Chains A and B, each alone.
Chain A
Amino acid sequence: METYISGYREVAHTADWELEVWAPTLAELLRQAARGMYALSGIQIADRPRLQRQVDLEASDAEGLLVAFLSELLYIGETEGLAFDQIEIEINHLTLHAELSGAPITKTDKEIKAVTYHNLSVRAENNLLRANIVFDV
């Protein structure tokens, strides 16, 4: 039985990290995946300055969109030192537009090298979308 309508949890994986994510819509699934990825990394952000970014992406399927979006967050994290606690996503026919609000990263416990496609499948179960995402660390 689902306690929360959307969320994430860490799954044991021998060498890397795996996240299980669930949500009622694809946009919310990506938002939860971003929250989960930041939580796995142990990322903390400053109170200020608050900074905004926009991300525009497209992919050929839902899995591609998930990988591309999370990869873009990793890129922004590494090149600008920013992470986002407010994420608004619109998805239209596998084209994504995201409005991100966040702040400079003050602490990161662990480095994520990449988001992988391993066993990645956005599947519908009991009126929710679910996905398991494996990260290379």
Chain B
Amino acid sequence: MIAIQDLKRISDYEWEIPQTFRQDMRVPVRIFATRRLLEKVMDDKSLEQAVNAATLPGLVGRVVVMPDMHQGYGFPIGGVAATRYPEGVISPGAIGYDINCGVRLLATSIEYEEAKTLLGDLATALDHYCPSGVGEKGALRMSEKELDQVCREGARWTLKQGYATEMDLLRTEEGGCLEGADPSKVSPHAKERGRPQLGTLGAGNHFIEVDVVEQIFDAEAARVMGLEEGALALQIHCGSRGFGHQICTDYVREFQSAVKRYGIQLPDRELVCAPLNSPEGQNYLAAMRSAANYAFANRQMLAHNARIAFEQVFAGKVRDWRLRQVYDIAHNMGKIETHIIDGQEVKVCVHRKGATRAFGPGSPELPDEYRRIGQPVLVPGSMGTASWVLVGTESSMQRAFGSSCHGAGRVMSRQQAKKQVRGEALRQELEADGIRVRAGSMAGLAEEAPQAYKDVDAVVETVAGAEIARKVARLRPVAVVKG
């Protein structure tokens, strides 16, 4: 059991659990949080899980935890851990079942004031064109060959099919495609689940949200991104659907025996892993990249369909109805990156689970226009509350493997949320606040109530205060579509 007294205060926004806290820790844990956020986190097991994560073989530097942290099922949500490549491990549980769950942001020049009477129609059109809900299937029925292409090419496949622009791919993490994906390392079960689901939103905490750019904090960065104050923007939050879930399930199961083969002892079976340079590790990496590419393609398909919805509602009624890509980021991912550790360049596998890549200015991985300002970091708030657009910083590169928070983080169990909140009452409340809601499940809506989440403003103040990200714009929701 960890208490606040066990933590060493580095600053108002940074704390450490030293490596000496527990014998099996290989690195310390660094936590980005205010004291207030930290006190609330003591109610769940996030920090204990961060300490467990610090036992993974081959870790370098530190395990990092973001201010939106909460208890996961092994690795804490909001956690970042880097293992040395190639002899350190890769752990599917430290990436997540929803591989490449992430967020895409698109901007418009549509003024909220001229659009507000049409937002109900827009919500209905988005709900129609972007299938959501449990088990929902998309309009595409892919063959296995097409699915294999999506695995290898990601969003590039959607470009070839006419569902994307070059700008969309340029402004997506990794250009929408991780190299080294191999669909032959993906099970038939996963492919069976993946084939009908491309272009679907899913359910749970996934959503499509129409926002207004409410306040701009960095005018130059906002201009580069194409964000206009008072104009509409669109967020898409979803991942790799059943395809990714099955891949992670398959490999967590396979790695149960791998850890015994490699003599790895872990405090939690969900942290199972294998050396990156082992056949098991390489197979999972290749399969994980396939799922990541599927998710990039999935968000691109949803963006394409959202464009159809915007055209249907706004064409002829506003000067320019078009949706322009700002960026697309992953917050459940494993990436091979090079970072400076103790003055040396070290190649590592960075596991981010409920944490976003946040590369600073000058990073060669960024498109030209973002290399000057830093990578856009998209932080959706809970339903009905603000979302944020940030940029990564050099300080994040030095202290957090170029990472930042991913959202608001839960504070209340789904069971408790369902007891306290009636989905229909919540929907009416949101509508009364001017937020149009299209939801497939009232129970699901209740579980996503704002009171079940941390205050996203407090989370963003923390990453900004810690200088691991910089504020660019705050968005206010005006329509939500969820399953």
Contacts and interface: CB of A to CB of B under 8 A. Distances in A.
B73 A111 contact: no
Contacts of A123: none
Interface string A100-115: 0000010011110111
Contact of A117 (B77, B246, B270, B447): B270
Interface stretch (A24-32, A73-81, A84-92): A73-81
Given A111-B483, A117-B269, A15 B134 contact: no
Contact of A114 (B44, B97, B415): B97
Contact of A118 (B134, B249, B269, B483): B269
B269 A15 contact: no
Contacts of A68: 253
A14 B44 contact: yes
Interface in B195-211: 202-204
B141 interface: no
Contacts of A113: 97-98, 204, 245
Contacts of B71: 13-15
Given A79-B193, A116-B73, A110 B256 contact: no
B475 interface: no
Nearest to B44: A14
Given A13-B413, A67-B253, A111 B97 contact: no
A120 interface: yes
A113 B441 CA distance: 17
A111 B242 CA distance: 10
Interface string B180-202: 00000000010011000000001
A115 B269 contact: no
Given A63-B269, A109-B444, A75 B202 contact: no
Interface in B56-102: 70-74, 77, 93, 96-98
Interface residues of B, number: 44
Contact of B411 (A14, A63, A136): A14
Contacts of A105: 135
B135 A71 contact: no
Given A78-B242, A116-B73, A136-B73, A108 B135 contact: yes
B135 A15 contact: no
B416 interface: yes
A56 interface: no
A119 interface: yes
B248 interface: yes
Contacts of B257: 60
Contact of B414 (A17, A64, A117, A118): A17
Contacts of B74: 116-118
A114 B249 CA distance: 7
B410 A115 contact: no
A120 B134 CA distance: 26
B447 A12 contact: no
Given A68-B253, A111-B203, A136-B73, A120 B97 contact: no
Contact of A15 (B93, B202, B248, B410): B410
Nearest to A80: B192
A20 interface: no
Contact of B134 (A14, A17, A111): A111
Contacts of A71: 249, 253
Interface centre among B44, B202, B269, B447 (most CB of A within 10 A): B269
B358 to A, nearest CB: 22
Given A110-B134, A111-B135, A118-B268, A14 B248 contact: no
A14 B415 contact: no
Contacts of B203: 110-111
B204 A137 contact: yes
Contacts of A137: 204, 414
Contact of B193 (A63, A78, A109): A78
A134 B73 contact: yes
B252 interface: yes
B443 interface: yes
Interface in B227-267: 242, 245-246, 248-249, 252-253, 256-257
Contacts of B164: none
Given A15-B410, A60-B257, A71-B249, A109 B441 contact: yes
Interface of A: 10-17, 41-42, 60, 63-64, 67-68, 71, 75, 77-79, 81, 105, 108-111, 113-120, 134, 136-137
Given A108-B134, A110-B441, A136-B245, 5 more contacts: A75-B246, A113-B97, A114-B248, A118-B73, A118-B268
30 contacts: A13-B413, A14-B411, A14-B413, A15-B71, A15-B413, A16-B414, A60-B256, A64-B253, A64-B256, A75-B189, A75-B192, A78-B135, A78-B193, A105-B135, A109-B134, A109-B441, A110-B134, A110-B203, A110-B204, A111-B135, A111-B202, A111-B203, A114-B97, A114-B249, A117-B268, A117-B269, A117-B272, A118-B73, A118-B268, A136-B98
Interface of B: 44, 70-74, 77, 93, 96-98, 134-135, 189, 192-193, 202-204, 242, 245-246, 248-249, 252-253, 256-257, 268-270, 272, 410-416, 441, 443-444, 447, 483
6 cross-chain pairs, A with B, having the tightest CB-CB distances, nearest first: A118-B73, A117-B269, A12-B413, A108-B134, A116-B73, A114-B97
